Amino acid sequence: MNSLLSKLTGSGVTQPPKLRIAIIGQSNFAAEVLELYLDKGYEIVGVFTIPDKNGREDVLATTAKQLNIPVFKISAWRRKGVIIPEVFETYKSTGATLNVLPFCSQFIPMEVIDYAAMGSICYHPSVLPRHRGASAISWTLIEGDAIAGFTIFWADDGLDTGPILLTRECSVLETDTLDSLYKRFLYPVGVTAMGEAIDMIAAGNAPKVKQSEVGATYDPAIFKEENQVIDLAQPALRIFNFVRALDSVPGAISYVVSQSGEEETVRLFGASLLSELPKNVQEIRFKGVKDSGAFVHDGGIVITGTDGRYVNIQRIKKGSRIIAASKWFEQNVARVPLELTPEEKQMEGVLRGFWESILKVEVDGDTDFFACGAGSMDVVRLVEEAKDAFEINLENEALLMAPVFSEFFEEVVKAKRNGDTVQEITVPFEGFVMKANKREIPVPTQLFIAGEFVDAENNKTSDVINPTNEEVLCKVAYASENDVDKAVKAAHDAFYGSWKSMNARQRGQIMFKLADLMEQHKEELATIEAVDSGAVYTLALKTHIGMSIDAWRYFAGWCDKIEGSTIPVNAASPNNVLTFTKREPIGVCGLVTPWNYPLMMLSWKMAACIAAGNTVVIKPAQVCPLTALKFAELTVKAGFPKGVINITTGAGSLAGNAIARHPLVRKLGFTGSTPIGQTIMTTCAQSNIKKCSLELGGKSPLVIFADCDLDKAVKYGMSSVFFNKGENCISAGRLFVEDKIHDEFVRRVVKDTKTIAIGDPLNRSTAHGPQNHKAHFDKLLEFCARGVSEGAKLVYGGRRAPNMKGYFFEPTIFTNVEDHMYIADEESFGPIMIISKFSGSDVDAVVKRANKTEYGLASGVFTKDLAKALQFSDKIEAGTVFVNVYNKTDVAAPFGGFKQSGFGKDLGKEALNEYLKTKCVTIEY
């Protein structure tokens, strides 16, 4: 609003009305527009949306209620073509001066449209005047338009004919569908444009450009079933465009013709163009397609267009069920539904509630879990909730094989009827019973030496604190130097005894058996990890434990594949020489592992170490040693000889240092801080020049260019920092965001961060648990205080989560971070996002800033420019480079850092090198 006008009193100048916005519509799109307007400081006087459907209200209503904005659910605005008086009075009571219709499926009477003094603006998903009507996105694709986009216009008494405020355009890609076009452009850019429109209106400079009638079209509504029928008697490109225009809802209707001439209605999804007819096809008849014009093959169903070109269909819906088109002849028989007991019918309602809580949509029998946008963590959460609620054994694969609700429910029912139980495994030890997660889990608390659980010298113990409630969880043995000496000697005896006499393939078999036992007990291990370290249970199950199991299986496969080589050398005539190398185990290896991934770090190092034929003494983190001790119990059951694996719990300064100094230890693997790594390296040299590998601190840079996929950048930018509560060695310690998108990136990150569920790590809906221990929690508070004192802008978090007992720290976001600041240089190892701005015109400059650190563990870049990504990966000084993704590690890929982030590799074939020595043998004959 022009501030000058408000000062011109008595001058004959009429003040424009105050901007009081009524939002009329529905959907997530409208909800985001609402939140954007509030972020911008505009007044929202009311939200008018649709009534609840099947007991579920529209997300716009839910969002408005959470923000304390009046909500009015209107089932109808008119009766027999006339506005309903009481509805009109309700609307007028808000005193709205501007109506905003972000997405509205209802007919809004002109009395409402015209009542607002500043008018009404509407969002329309096409570049007007083309494709007026309710199905504009679909018709953009059906007609094969090269350009798509949206228009924000001023509503009038015509249908999508009002003056234009602004338009935005994008190219239509060959891979675009109804969904992809909406998600990649019409939705995200549309929300931002609605913000631009309101700013122009507030400033008094919003245009009103009369629509041209040149090129104007008005297209039929696709929600009417008769308009969903596809004509297959047309060129392939037209068929392709029609199918993708109705993908993933409602699907293009077609008719399969049987040999008797009967027609079966089906819907087609997943279209693509083919250049040639596939091999090994089986003919199928479609209405409108000439004979020998449609075929089932391994990749779907091919339909021949009238121009002789081909369209492939990947999925077909028959009745209420979607099947792979390639399975047409295999699944052409209807499933016989299960006859349910009353108890099982109640189970169906409970399971539907789980689905709806995760997917945020109304779920029916045909709802596809993954088509609704679910990801891998959602799979873990759903399966775990089902297992807990129904007390069944269920694997993630059950959902992957049956992603449709009705099919998955049948799998749940079958699992309940089978009533399988998991066999308990016990080994003699002293400890305690952890009662958590609807389980009672016996947990050892003693040292594990020479295949047995034993007390520490003088029965000394230390407290283990539960980070969720700050209470003592148990007391665990505190190893002395003598205890470490016993463990090392047990490992030394085993290396030269029972373990050395076992061949490589037998080692692999034992490792595979251990992995299987870990799989059987993964829920117990994940529960212990969640309680002991504060890891969110679903993440612990998928990553902490899941990747541990993967590591043991991966390296088990390497046991009998460790080879030397023959080398051609020059021999003194007339003799011959054979030279070859042997790859041999080092001997006793010491491992010292951190507290952020207790079992996973143990497994990453120990699995490679054992596969190479060594024996081990490990000191797990003092603050969370319990999964290591439970793991020790499983090694006995797996059949590991005594002394091969030894676990000494206690302090790093005592037990860890004793391992590093011991003369019988020939290799040390360490993960932890850089200062401790320096001490470890010195000790290794001074003791017996033992080999060492170090995975140390990080300040990993993540560079986000303006040409990135912003949705992915926001998603992975958040996970790069907040994954595992920020207690992640490759956490993005600093985000460099290009100035063109900086403000929008920050706005979206802050918005999404506010929705992160903080709480009990055993709760399946929790996304962010407590920090691992008090000292670290206090360090994070100090880190944030330092950032604020140096002038960085704290835009969110930076404090203990309010009204919560435990080490719960709010996810935190800093902006305006300059290179000289402490928080720009030092690692927080917590959920603290550090954002700095850069100009995209100088790629070398931002890479130089990213490299201006003594750490070099990981890095990341988001850009659609392949040359820019490769340039970044060439110049960045880091052991791992992520491009358009982050935190994507795998047990087969080597992992390790540069500079003061250490040296040596975990994971992958290269990890074996850390635990092997090369012997060269030369024979003259």
d(CA 630, CA 530): 14
Average pLDDT across the chain, whole number: 92
Cβ atoms of 673 and 480 within 8 Å: the answer is no
Could you confirm whether 695 is annotated as catalytic?
yes
Answer whether residue 474 shows pLDDT above 90. yes
Q: What is the mean pLDDT of residues 2-20?
A: 49
Cβ atoms of 607 and 914 within 8 Å: the answer is no
Answer whether residue 768 shows pLDDT above 70. yes
Answer whether residue 9 shows pLDDT above 90. no
Cβ atoms of 195 and 36 within 8 Å: the answer is yes
- Residue 473 structure tokens: 């969880």
Q: In what order do the strands lie in the sheet with 615-619?
A: 452-454, 447-449, 645-647, 615-619, 588-592, 665-671, 691-695, 902-903
Residues in CB range of 39: below 8 A, 6 or more apart = 747, 751
Q: pLDDT tens for residues 340-393? A: 888 888 999 999 999 988 887 788 888 888 777 777 778 888 988 998 889 888
Answer whether residue 285 shows pLDDT above 60. yes
**What pLDDT, on a 0 to 100 scale, did the predictor assign at position 4?**
31
At residue 184, the 3 state secondary structure works out as helix
Answer whether residue 13 shows pLDDT above 50. no
- Residue 181 structure tokens: 């076009």
Answer whether residue 12 shows pLDDT above 50. no
Q: What is the mean pLDDT of residues 235-255?
A: 92
Q: pLDDT tens for residues 524-579? A: 999 999 999 999 999 999 999 999 999 999 999 999 999 999 999 988 778 899 99
Cβ atoms of 231 and 288 within 8 Å: the answer is yes
Q: What is the mean pLDDT of residues 877-903?
A: 96
| Active-site choice (729, 768, 773, 784) | 729
Q: In what order do the strands lie in the sheet with 566-567?
A: 566-567, 577-585, 916-924
CA dihedral 404, 407, 413, 416 (to 10 degrees): -70
The identity of residue 859, as a single letter, is S
Closest CA to 919 of 423, 522, 579: 579
**What backbone phi and psi angles, to 5 degrees, belong to 430?**
-105, 140
pLDDT tier at 335, thresholds 50, 70, 90: low
How far CA 321 is from CA of 229, 348, 467, 862, in Å, comes to 18, 18, 46, 38
Answer whether residue 596 shows pLDDT above 50. yes
**What pLDDT, on a 0 to 100 scale, did the predictor assign at position 14?**
47
Answer whether residue 334 shows pLDDT above 70. no
Q: pLDDT tens for residues 818-857? A: 999 999 999 999 999 999 999 987 889 999 999 999 999 9
| Active-site choice (407, 523, 524, 695) | 695
Could you confirm whether 729 is annotated as catalytic?
yes
Answer whether residue 6 shows pLDDT above 50. no
What ranges in 639-709 are assigned the alpha helix state H? Answer: 657-661, 674-688
**What pLDDT, on a 0 to 100 scale, did the predictor assign at position 183?**
84
Residues in CB range of 528: below 8 A, 6 or more apart = 434, 441, 443, 626, 627, 630
The pTM for the full model equals 0.78
The identity of residue 760, as a single letter, is D
Q: What is the mean pLDDT of residues 264-288?
A: 92
d(CA 745, CA 741): 6
Cβ atoms of 537 and 544 within 8 Å: the answer is no
Answer whether residue 336 shows pLDDT above 90. no
| Active-site choice (124, 544, 742, 776) | 124
d(CA 923, CA 925): 7
At residue 858, the 3 state secondary structure works out as strand
Answer whether residue 626 shows pLDDT above 60. yes
Q: pLDDT tens for residues 482-508? A: 999 999 999 999 999 889 888 899 999
d(CA 153, CA 121): 6
Could you confirm whether 122 is annotated as catalytic?
no
pLDDT tier at 11, thresholds 50, 70, 90: very low
pLDDT tier at 331, thresholds 50, 70, 90: low
How far CA 34 is from CA of 26, 187, 434, 745, 834, in Å, comes to 11, 14, 46, 18, 28
At residue 770, the 3 state secondary structure works out as coil
Q: Which residue has the higher pLDDT, 916 or 104?
A: 916
Residue 458 region, left (φ>0) first, then alpha (ψ -120 to 50), else beta? left
Supply the Cα-derived Rg of the chain in whole angstroms: 32
Q: What is the mean pLDDT of residues 407-417?
A: 87
